[in-house]
Amino acid sequence: MNSVSVDSIILKHSTRGMDVLAKLHSKEHIKEAIKAFRKLKVGKVFLYTGFWVAGAPESDGPIGTYFLARALKALGYEPAIVTDKFCENLFKEIETLIVPIDKNVDFTKLLKEHAPVAHISIERCGKNRFGRYENSRKEDISKYTAPLDELFSLGENRFAIGDGGNEIGMGNYKEDIKRELGLEPCIVECDYLMLSSVSNWGAYGFIAYLDKKLLPSFEEVDEYLEFLISKGVVDGISKRCEKSVDGKEWEIEREILEELRGVKIKL
């Protein structure tokens, strides 16, 4: 990997072992994913997000998903955010599909109706080998988690961004996660996995490859986080409604966005 690349930027400030996985699988994950994505026809894209934390959705995931959806929309795609009731009304001006937690859904019918050309998961919990959805504290959150991973697994052209090991897509590296990080990983696999220290940053990296002009400014992201906080969204580490994501100082968000805006993009 080049000394300064999109991947190296979004893997800065790593605290949950994604840098370890990146060294074991030394390649530019985002670049590989975007090359594949660009080969697809322009059409509907399902974006999966929403991670339940202490009665509310966490801020990592919705932010990156919203701005990636906005970028895709600007490029002519039809983004639809797939989530559950905890993230209802968080995504302004973007089509949102709410999957119920306690009811069976005909996912095959849903796919046929919408015919998405791609599926992109951003910080969405997926089942482990025991069939449970677990958070980073190893707590079972299955009764608060709609089975979006089942819909994702039925789709074609599946992309996923994660930062901890229990997210959709991390099944690609499940053995490494268990051995190196001592975690019970999500077993749901994807076609293209993207590692990031914070999943929102992975979404920004994807946007940077699509078109750097579509990267949000720090001020736009800051304003959107304020909106999410007003809706009760919390930091996934502190469990508080505050201006931070994954326990990291909020000013780091500015640093990541500015570095992505300045990095040289080569495909």
Residue 63's pLDDT is 98
* Residue at 125 is within a domain: yes
Dist CA 123 CA 19 (whole Å): 17
Dist CA 160 CA 189 (whole Å): 9
* Residue at 199 is within a domain: yes
Residue 35's pLDDT is 97
CATH number at residue 11: 3.90.1640.20
Question: What per-residue string of b and e applies to 160-195 under the rule 16 or more CB within 10 Å gives b?
Answer: bbbbbbbbbbbbbbbebbeeebebbbbbbbbbbbbb
* Residue at 153 is within a domain: yes
- Mean pLDDT, the chain, integer: 96
pLDDT beyond 70 at 263 = yes
Higher pLDDT, 126 or 266: 126
pLDDT beyond 80 at 2 = no
Dist CA 51 CA 165 (whole Å): 13
Q: pLDDT band for position 3 (50/70/90)?
A: confident
* Residue at 65 is within a domain: yes
Residue 126's pLDDT is 98
Q: pLDDT band for position 104 (50/70/90)?
A: confident
* Residue at 266 is within a domain: no
Model pLDDT for residues 43-81, shown as the tens digit of each residue: 999 999 999 999 999 999 999 999 999 999 999 999 999
Would you call 192 helix, strand, or coil by DSSP? strand
Number of domains forming the structure of the chain: 1
Q: pLDDT band for position 17 (50/70/90)?
A: very high
Residue 91's pLDDT is 97
pLDDT beyond 90 at 103 = no
Residue 120: both structure tokens together: 């992109």
> First CA to last CA across the chain, in angstroms?
13
* Residue at 257 is within a domain: yes
* Residue at 116 is within a domain: yes
Amino acid identity of residue 151, one-letter, is L
Q: pLDDT band for position 110 (50/70/90)?
A: very high
Dist CA 63 CA 49 (whole Å): 10
Dist CA 142 CA 234 (whole Å): 19
With a CB cutoff of 8 Å and minimum separation 6, the contacts of 226 are 243
* Residue at 1 is within a domain: no
Residue 1's pLDDT is 47
Q: pLDDT band for position 102 (50/70/90)?
A: confident
The range of the structural domain enclosing residue 84 comes to 6-261
